[in-house]
Amino acid sequence: MDKRINLIPTEMAVPARAVKLAKIINKFSTIATILLILASVILGSLFFYYSLERTKIKNNTESLISKISSLEKSEQKLVLAKDRLAKIKIVRDSKSVNNEILRYQEFSNIIANATGSAITEAVLTSKGTDVSIIFVDSASLSEVLSPLSKLTNYKKIILSSLGFNPNTGFLANILLQYEY
Amino acid sequence: MNTNLKNEINFLIKPVAIMFVVVVLTLTVAVLGFNKIVLIKSENEQAKEKEMVFQTKALILEQVETVLPGDITFLDVVLPSRGSVLYGLSQIKNQAIIYNLFLSNVKSGTLIPENAGVSKVTISFEAEGEEQNVYKFLDSFSTLLPLMNIDKVSLSKSASLVRANVSINVFSAELPKKIPALTGVVNELTTKEVALLKELATYTLPQFIEPQVSETTGQKEDPFN
């Protein structure tokens, strides 16, 4: 049977609580070392993974840049088309009487088909159409007003003035207002 | 008592020092490493976003030839960068010939800047002819190139003819001076824009008569002899 003999003088002997504390500290150090190794391995792996990913992205980006450079003519074409189309939209959205001609023609045909009435003057602007019509008698006036009231092309049809001259007949001024 | 304490300190100093070094090292590695990883990750995300932008741009540019096949220089006639008045006058005269109208008092104004780099010139004229032809003539301007807007029309009747006093705006716009930077974003054409492009392609282009070479076969006199 082994016997442990302590030859250290008692005044030099380390107290038991110090030994216990040293053991705890050593355990703590061991755990910290394991954590250090683990952290190093994990962080090192992540660094390696992200570095690889970065290289891959960099290579892809460079190849895309050279591809875009080779498509410069297409880009010019697209930029020109986009620029022109944006400005064309501005022009097309600006007010005009381009679309009012056919509508006015329909109105004019009603007057032309009625007996004893004629358009003397018409002014078409983006705000509306101002028409001067002459009617030889009240019968022709009522003949025209009836189909005009059924016209749905205009927002409003305003009889702005109506005069009578015994020599020429009735002179009416009609304002045709557009939908917008 | 002092000797005991001294012994204790001497005994514990080494493990405490080791623990201190290990803890400091662990914390340093963890904090620095974590920060570095976060930084790389965020850099990668930014690079990925950039890559996506380039990928989209390359894809859009690859499709340009499919969406915009052939030559699109006709867009410079739709909205000319210069010479819009000449194009406009040419169209007015050509349409007057087609609809058998008599043109007079043709005048053009000065260039007036409008919105977003678009400018307009007003051309005024009088056209006289049969009523239905005058309407057809005026209606034709909605499908003529360059784009023209009828600003005002005064119609007056005399006998069987109609006289139209017309003001037309002809538009022009400067060409883009530069293309976006390589890293710049380009937007593809929207469905509406493609439809508009197709519609514009059906409009009537201005026609200019090219002067023909004289076909006289007789030999010219030598001016140096």
Q: Does A54 touch chain B (CB under 8 A)?
A: yes
Angle A75-A81-A85 from CA coordinates, rounded to 5°: 150
Residue B158 pLDDT: 78
Helices (H), A71-169: 72-93, 100-113, 138-149
Verify whether the Cβ–Cβ distance A123 to B36 is below 8 Å. no
Write the DSSP symbol of residue B175: P
| Mean pLDDT of the B65-91 span | 82
- When CB atoms are compared, the residue of B41, B68, B118 closest to A77 is B68
User: Which residues, 6 or more positions from A66, have their beta carbon under 8 angstroms from its beta carbon?
Assistant: none
ipTM for the assembly:
0.74
Q: Is A119 on the interface with B (CB under 8 A)?
A: yes
Scan residues 64-83 of A and list those with Cβ closer than 8 Å to B: 64-65, 67-69, 71-72, 74-83
User: B residues 93-112 near A, CB within 8 Å?
Assistant: none
In DSSP terms, B103 is beta-bridged to B127
Q: What is the mean pLDDT of residues B114-128?
A: 89
pTM above 0.80, yes or no: no
Q: Which residue of A has its CA nearest to B165?
A: A123
pLDDT of residue B68 exceeding 80:
no
pLDDT of residue B217: 54
Could you tell me if A38 lies within 8 Å of chain B, comparing CB atoms? no
User: What pLDDT score was predicted for residue A157?
Assistant: 85
Residue B165: strand pairing partners: B126, B154
CA distance B199 to chain A (A): 12
B49 CB within 8 Å of a chain A CB: no
Residue A90 to residue B171: CA distance in whole angstroms: 10
Q: What is the CATH number of domain B75-175+184-200?
A: 3.30.70.60
Q: What is the mean pLDDT of residues A63-75?
A: 88
Contacts of A84 in chain B (CB under 8 A): 75-76, 78-79, 173
Q: Determine contact: A125 vs chain B, CB below 8 A.
A: yes
Nearest CA-CA partner of A116 in A133, A140, A138, A139:
A140
Give which of B23, B14, B34, B28 is closest to A31, Cα–Cα. B23
- The 10s digit of each residue's pLDDT in B129-164 is 998 899 899 989 888 888 899 989 999 987 778 899
Q: How far apart are CA B2 and CA B13, in angstroms?
A: 16
Q: What does the pLDDT look like over A103-151, one tens digit per residue?
A: 888 888 888 888 888 888 999 988 888 999 888 888 888 888 778 777 7
Domains of chain B by residue range: 1-67, 75-175+184-200
What mean pLDDT do residues B52-65 have? 87
Give whole-number Cα distances, B215 to B208, B211, B212, in Å: 20, 12, 8
In DSSP terms, B156 is beta-bridged to: A121, B163
Beta strands in chain B (DSSP E): 102-108, 112-113, 118-130, 148-158, 161-173
**Closest-CA distance of chain B to residue A160, Å:** 18
